[in-house]
């Protein structure tokens, strides 16, 4: 039996027969509301990372169950993060390390999360962005909604569409024109229907992915003169190894943003887009609360990875520091979770697949590499020794414990940050010998398998594109 399964069973015994099926008082299996949010970092109210953010609905969801304060993605890019979460296989196992690498050929349909629920007798509905580029395959879903994309126009007040590759600006459109609004409309229709089977409803919200362009009233709600830049320090990269500098690319987006003088505008736009997304999540929660399924539905919300807005002289994801790796993770499981619970244990999103199976009473497939966090849902203070792991490109790994983040690059260079003293990772401690035992403890968790990277430039079917 795999070691993570042994650990789980031991925890369950210690917890006094923790119920693995949510809503165990019900005679039917629990439904699942699976909410994926694109590019949402930890700028949500209940995580207290940014005091300007307004997320009353995400915070409402957190108050309904367990929120994880140290949740980390499997990979800091859309494609590998989602492929890993949905397949149960880490990037180092599949070779899907970055965007542009086709996951379809290396992840058979029989392995995916949705297939397990289909095989267990569920109807599986999907909408929006669950896999990268909204890819999905026939046979893994009962139904998949395709929203219509109307023409979105910048409001006349917009200066232009952003700075270089960082795109943003208020829109003249109403909320109802936004694709995410349509996706939530579809989900609300499903919640209003009468179902003869339990359902798994996957709702993928694209915002706050760029462009940070949402209806103007969200911008108006966060005046530019109130915007604070994220905490940062000059020469932050002076103690970062060359491998980290290559990921940061300080002479790219960050240099351009500094030259433009529009850093605060970009922060405002990201916050406005988060607020739009929060409003859609509010609509979704209201729909569930008003439905017949409110008492027998597991909710899990996750952001696929974090995002830098100038911290460590870096923009976007594509790095192994806290801002790129950390994202919200909230669970509500009737009969299992307790309202207003907070868990500080470090977990990564490879735990979502096995935990959903456990809660639904579905056998966890042998190929799944992450452990279930059912013990932490029952008792957020339960012992948990495994660090969270994030991978970006082959042999580059970032680990998070409650106190430390350790990064080890493919060339053997390292970074270590003490979050108790240095929450913004300004001082690299990796060269200090007194931390050697800390690093060694993390190194025990390095993946044994680190397969070569899949080629880039593949199309959605996994076939090589012809030269243009």
Catalytic residue among 18, 78, 325, 357: 78
Task: Give yes or no: 132 in active site.
Answer: yes
Catalytic residue among 42, 132, 136, 393: 132
3-state secondary structure the chain: CCHHHHHHHHHHHHCCCCCCCCCCCCCCCCEEEEEEECCCCCCCHHHCCCCCCCCHHHHHHHHHCEEEEEEECCCCCHHHHHHHHHHCCCHHHHCCCCCCCCCHHHCCHHHCHHHHHHHCCCEEEEEECCCHHHCCCCCCCCEEECCCCCCCCECCCCCCCEECCEEECCECCCHHHCHHHHHHHHHHHHHHCCCCCCEEEEEEECCCCCCECCEHHHHHCCCHHHCCCCCCCCCHHHHCCHHHHHHHCHHHHHHHHHHHCCHHHHHHHHHHHHHHHHHHHHHHHHHHHCCCCCCCEEEEEEECCCCEECHHHCEECCCCCHHHHECCEEEECCCCCCCCEEEEEEEEHHHHHHHHHHHHCCCCCCCCCCCCCHHHHHCCCCCCCCCEEEECCCCCEEEECCCEEEEECCCCCEEEEECCCCCCCCCCCCCCHHHHHHHHHHHCCCCCCCCCCCCCCECCCCCECCCC
Task: Give yes or no: 325 in active site.
Answer: no
* Active-site amino acid positions: 78, 132
């Amino acid at each position: 039996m795999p070691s993570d399964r042994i650990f789980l069973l031991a925890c369950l015994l210690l917890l006094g027969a923790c119920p693995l099926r949510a809503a165990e008082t019900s005679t039917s299996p629990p439904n699942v509301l699976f909410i994926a949010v694109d590019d949402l970092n930890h700028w949500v109210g209940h995580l207290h990372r940014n005091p300007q953010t307004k997320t009353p609905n995400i915070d409402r969801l957190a108050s309904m169950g367990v929120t994880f304060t140290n949740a980390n993605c499997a990979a800091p890019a859309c494609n590998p993060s989602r492929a890993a979460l949905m397949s149960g296989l880490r990037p180092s196992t599949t070779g899907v390390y970055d965007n542009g690498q086709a996951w379809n050929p290396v992840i058979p349909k029989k392995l995916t999360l949705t297939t397990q629920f289909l095989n267990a007798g569920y109807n599986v509905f999907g909408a929006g962005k669950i896999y990268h580029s909204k890819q999905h395959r026939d046979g893994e879903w009962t139904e998949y909604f395709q929203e219509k994309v109307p023409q979105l126009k910048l409001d006349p007040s917009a200066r232009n569409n952003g700075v270089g590759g960082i795109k943003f600006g208020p829109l003249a459109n109403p909320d109802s024109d936004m694709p995410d609004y349509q996706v939530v409309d579809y989900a609300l229709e499903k919640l209003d229907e009468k179902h003869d089977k339990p359902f798994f409803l996957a709702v993928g919200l694209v915002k706050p992915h760029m462009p940070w362009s949402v209806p103007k009233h969200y911008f108006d709600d966060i005046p530019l003169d109130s915007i604070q830049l994220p905490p940062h320090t000059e020469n932050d990269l002076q103690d970062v190894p060359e491998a980290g500098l290559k990921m940061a690319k300080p002479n790219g987006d960050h240099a351009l943003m500094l030259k433009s003088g529009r850093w605060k505008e970009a922060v405002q736009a990201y916050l406005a887009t988060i607020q739009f997304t929060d409003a859609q999540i509010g609509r979704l929660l209201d729909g569930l609360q008003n439905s017949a399924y409110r008492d027998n539905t597991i909710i899990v919300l996750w952001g696929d990875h974090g995002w830098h807005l100038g911290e460590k002289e870096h923009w976007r994801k594509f790095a192994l520091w806290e801002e790129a790796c950390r994202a919200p993770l909230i669970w509500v499981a009737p009969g299992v979770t307790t309202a207003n619970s907070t868990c500080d244990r470090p977990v990564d999103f490879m735990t979502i697949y096995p935990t959903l199976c456990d809660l639904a009473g579905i056998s966890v497939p042998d190929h799944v590499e992450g452990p279930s966090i059912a013990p932490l849902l029952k008792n957020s203070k339960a012992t948990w020794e495994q660090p969270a792991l994030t991978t970006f490109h082959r042999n580059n790994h970032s680990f998070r414990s409650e106190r430390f983040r350790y990064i080890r690059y493919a060339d053997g260079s390292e970074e270590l940050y003490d979050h108790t003293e240095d929450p913004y990772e300004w001082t690299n401690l990796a060269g200090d010998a007194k931390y050697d035992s800390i690093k060694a403890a993390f190194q025990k968790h390095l993946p044994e398998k680190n397969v070569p990277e899949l080629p880039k430039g593949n199309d959605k079917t996994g076939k090589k594109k012809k030269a243009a």
